[in-house]
């Protein structure tokens, strides 16, 4: 006697959140900000090539300063790469606080809707040093969250970035990386490749990330 086939329940896609924390202070004016814009556009293009990643990866962008959420979490198809302009100071501490708050809020939304998610990534890119005084507290928060495995925090310095301070912000196990020149494109293609790997992986806490070909790890 023929038997019917199992039907499938519709569950929402797993989400793979990545938050870009971008320095748009005055010193980024000119070529740096243009290359950063191109890099973000390349990120979108590259994620779109991968069906699973484009359904899973969600991007948010916070720029500083002043600190502004210019793109709330959205899947790649809903995401329009911004045209960033440079002006203002470098309130890194305030920006990190804003990012971590936003991330926690996003997780609550996921939980409330039964959406499963991967460990979020926060990507800080800066060419300066903090102009606010709260950055040590923010750095502590980063390290605590990282230790509790609430997120993966990456710090990237551009050109004359204050790598000493970045080293105090970035978690020990993941020291800051100094970008090769203004090669944002390679950085974002790497980020996209990493996101594809993360979003296609199921179990296994340690996803082997592609080699960092776009910068130097300074220790």
Under the binding rule (CB under 8 A), the answer on residue 204 touching other proteins is yes
Residues of span 51-70 touching other proteins by CB under 8 A: 52
Of 5, 30, 80, 211, the one binding other proteins by CB under 8 A: 5
Under the binding rule (CB under 8 A), the answer on residue 211 touching other proteins is no
Nearer residue to other proteins within complex by CB, 12 or 136: 12
Residue 154 near residue 123 (C-beta atoms within 8 A): yes
Of 14, 129, 180, 193, the one binding other proteins by CB under 8 A: 14
Nearer residue to other proteins within complex by CB, 4 or 30: 4
Residues of span 82-121 touching other proteins by CB under 8 A: 107, 113-119
The size of the chain, in residues, is 219
Nearer residue to other proteins within complex by CB, 9 or 219: 9
What burial letters (b/e) apply to 66-98, b meaning 16+ CB within 10 Å? ebeeebebebbeebebbebebebbbbbbbbbbb
Residues of span 141-200 touching other proteins by CB under 8 A: 149-150, 198, 200
Residue 87 near residue 133 (C-beta atoms within 8 A): no
Residue 77 near residue 110 (C-beta atoms within 8 A): no
* Three-state SS letters, 17-36: EEEEEEECCHHHCCHHHHHH
Of 3, 30, 80, 219, the one binding other proteins by CB under 8 A: 3
Under the binding rule (CB under 8 A), the answer on residue 75 touching other proteins is no
Nearer residue to other proteins within complex by CB, 25 or 199: 199
Two structure tokens written together for 102: 């936003």
Positions touching other proteins (CB under 8 A) are: 1, 3-9, 11-12, 14, 52, 107, 113-119, 149-150, 198, 200-207
């Amino acid at each position: 006697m023929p038997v019917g086939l199992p039907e499938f329940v519709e569950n929402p896609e797993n989400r793979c959140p990545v938050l870009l924390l971008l320095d748009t202070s005055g010193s980024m004016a000119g070529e740096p900000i243009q290359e950063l814009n191109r890099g973000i556009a390349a990120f979108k293009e590259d994620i779109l090539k991968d069906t699973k990643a484009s359904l899973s990866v969600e991007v948010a962008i916070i720029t500083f300063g002043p600190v502004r959420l210019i793109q709330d979490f959205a899947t790649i198809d809903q995401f329009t790469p911004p045209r960033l302009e440079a002006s203002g100071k470098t309130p890194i501490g305030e920006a990190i606080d804003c990012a971590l708050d936003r991330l926690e809020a996003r997780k609550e939304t996921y939980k409330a809707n039964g959406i499963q998610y991967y460990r979020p990534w926060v990507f800080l890119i800066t060419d300066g040093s903090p102009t606010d005084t709260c950055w040590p507290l923010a750095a502590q928060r980063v390290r605590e969250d990282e230790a509790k495995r609430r997120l993966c925090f990456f710090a990237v310095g551009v050109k004359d970035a204050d790598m000493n301070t970045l080293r105090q912000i970035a978690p020990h196990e993941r020291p800051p990386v100094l970008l090769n020149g203004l090669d944002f494109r390679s950085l974002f293609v790497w980020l996209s490749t990493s996101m594809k790997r993360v979003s296609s992986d199921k179990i296994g806490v340690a996803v082997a990330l592609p080699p960092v070909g776009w910068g130097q790890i300074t220790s």
